[in-house]
Amino acid sequence: MAEFIHIRNLGKTFPGGNLAMDDISLAIAPGELFFLLGPSGCGKTTLLRSIAGFCIPDQGSVHIGGRDITRLAPHLRDTGMVFQSYALWPHMTIRQNVAFGLDMRKLPADEKRRRTDEALAMVRMSDRAEAKPNALSGGQQQRVALARALVIHPQCLLLDEPLSNLDAKLRLEMRQEIRNICKQAGITAIYVTHDQKEALSVSDRLAIMDRGRIRQVGTPSDVYRRPSSVFVAGFIGETNVFPATVRSTDHSTITIDTPIGVLHSTVAAADVPRVGAGVCVSLRPEAIHLGEPPAGIPNRLEGTRRQTVYLGELAQHELGIGGNAVKVSELNPRQRTASGLTPLWIDPEDVVLLPATP
């Protein structure tokens, strides 16, 4: 992969011994929309601020386009920042807000107007150029903040939870809007969020962070379907996790003993574990199918319905199997009786083995 942003061995400890970044290294490609995802306090915002220049790391370096910017002032880094709070000047018009960064760079008036018009057009706000921020909706203000960051033609766009102040419906609309704008501009972007759905639906690749460390980097599909640890499996979406022991292995299948029965897997997160080894198994709720299995599927179980939450297009079931609670998601749910045993099955490709350590 061609590297455009290269983060090498970043570390940062705040007063009181709070370790925010622990030897973080990342490589981000040109034009990539890269997400930093993790729980509160995991270090993702500290990492973004270190790239922006608002936080100086104790160790390591940040390179953009081959240039070491680790200790440059923020305005010398050629990065654009979109804040959670938008940070628009209330006394300025939208045009003036967007042009603010160009004013600081003392561009000629014609060039400044041309670039401001281009940025407003890109975010579809040309018709509101003379309005004040308090006359705009939250989504419109977010577009203006994005235009203000893009108008300086930054090498890298940095976004710090930009949608967290919007309502649920508007967040859904703005997810794809931001992706489309970044791709149209051909810009490299780093985006911080704690929202898993946002990261999965918008990013090209993402990094899962925990306690100042990178736990896994990959495409949304890779990280969701092939998590590297119990932590990643539990953080990115819902899953059922059980301890297991490897009973046997062959070239294509690993057989494991679990609290809900014997299961067969064709997926191991790393090297194939030895017979007798302790592992964990991750079963996504949507990968567990209700009903009789197709011919040739070995993972057949039975469970007793404990409760069901009906959500229209989706039903969330909790089944009891061998005294264990198992979550099952059913798309386009049918009316089902609550009594008796319910057959269910799991494709071996969806039985994911993980290291026993979290």
Per-residue pLDDT of the chain (358 residues; tens, 9 = 90+): 567 999 999 999 999 889 999 999 999 999 999 999 999 999 999 999 999 999 999 999 999 999 999 999 998 898 999 988 878 999 999 999 999 888 888 888 999 999 999 999 988 899 999 999 999 988 899 889 989 999 988 999 999 998 887 888 888 888 888 898 899 889 999 999 989 999 999 999 999 999 999 999 999 999 999 999 999 999 999 999 999 999 998 878 999 999 999 999 997 655 678 899 999 999 999 999 999 988 889 999 999 999 999 888 899 999 999 899 999 999 988 776 556 789 999 999 999 999 988 7
Instruction: Tell me which of 231, 250, 275 is where a domain ends.
Output: 231
Residues 153 and 251 grouped into a single domain: no
d(CA 158, CA 146): 10
Residues 219 and 131 grouped into a single domain: yes
Residues 207 and 257 grouped into a single domain: no
Residues 188 and 307 grouped into a single domain: no
Q: What is the 3-state secondary structure (H, E, C) of the chain?
A: CCCCEEEEEEEEEECCCEEEEEEEEEEECCCCEEEEECCCCCCHHHHHHHHHCCCCCCEEEEEECCEECCCCCHHHCCEEEECCCCCCCCCCCHHHHHHHHHHHCCCCHHHHHHHHHHHHHHCCCHHHCCCCHHHCCHHHHHHHHHHHHHCCCCCEEEEECCCCCCCHHHHHHHHHHHHHHHHHHCCEEEEEECCHHHHHHHCCEEEEEECCEEEEEECHHHHHHCCCCHHHHHHCCCCEEEEEEEEEECCCCEEEEECCEEEEECEECCCCCCCCCEEEEEECHHHEEECCCCCCCCEEEEEEEEEEEECCCEEEEEEEECCEEEEEEEECCCCCCCCCEEEEEECHHHCEEEECCC
Residues 223 and 242 grouped into a single domain: no
Residues 115 and 263 grouped into a single domain: no
Residues 267 and 187 grouped into a single domain: no
Compute the Cα dihedral for 342, 348, 350, 351 and give only its sign.
positive
Is the Cβ–Cβ distance between 350 and 284 less than 8 Å?
Answer: yes
The whole-number pLDDT of residue 168 equals 82
Instruction: Tell me which of 183, 199, 231 is where a domain ends.
Output: 231
The whole-number pLDDT of residue 339 equals 63
Is the Cβ–Cβ distance between 219 and 204 less than 8 Å?
Answer: yes
Residues 160 and 118 grouped into a single domain: yes
The whole-number pLDDT of residue 207 equals 97
Which domain does 318 fall in, by range? 238-355
For the beta carbon of residue 88, count every other beta carbon within 10 angstroms: 22
Residues 227 and 248 grouped into a single domain: no
Residue 239, class by beta-carbon neighbours within 10 Å (0-12 exposed, 13-18 middle, 19+ buried)?
A: buried
Q: What is the CATH number of the domain that holds 320?
A: 2.40.50.100
d(CA 103, CA 324): 63
Residues 76 and 182 grouped into a single domain: yes
Residue 350's nearest CA partner among 289, 309, 307, 290 is: 289
Instruction: Tell me which of 203, 231, 259 is where a domain ends.
Output: 231
Interacting residues of 168 by C-beta distance below 8 A, sequence separation 6+:
none
The whole-number pLDDT of residue 84 equals 81
Residues 298 and 198 grouped into a single domain: no
The whole-number pLDDT of residue 138 equals 87
Residues 119 and 243 grouped into a single domain: no
First CA to last CA distance, the chain: 29
Q: What is the CATH number of the domain that holds 178?
A: 3.40.50.300
Is the Cβ–Cβ distance between 255 and 281 less than 8 Å?
Answer: no
The whole-number pLDDT of residue 97 equals 93
Q: Into how many domains does the chain fold?
A: 2
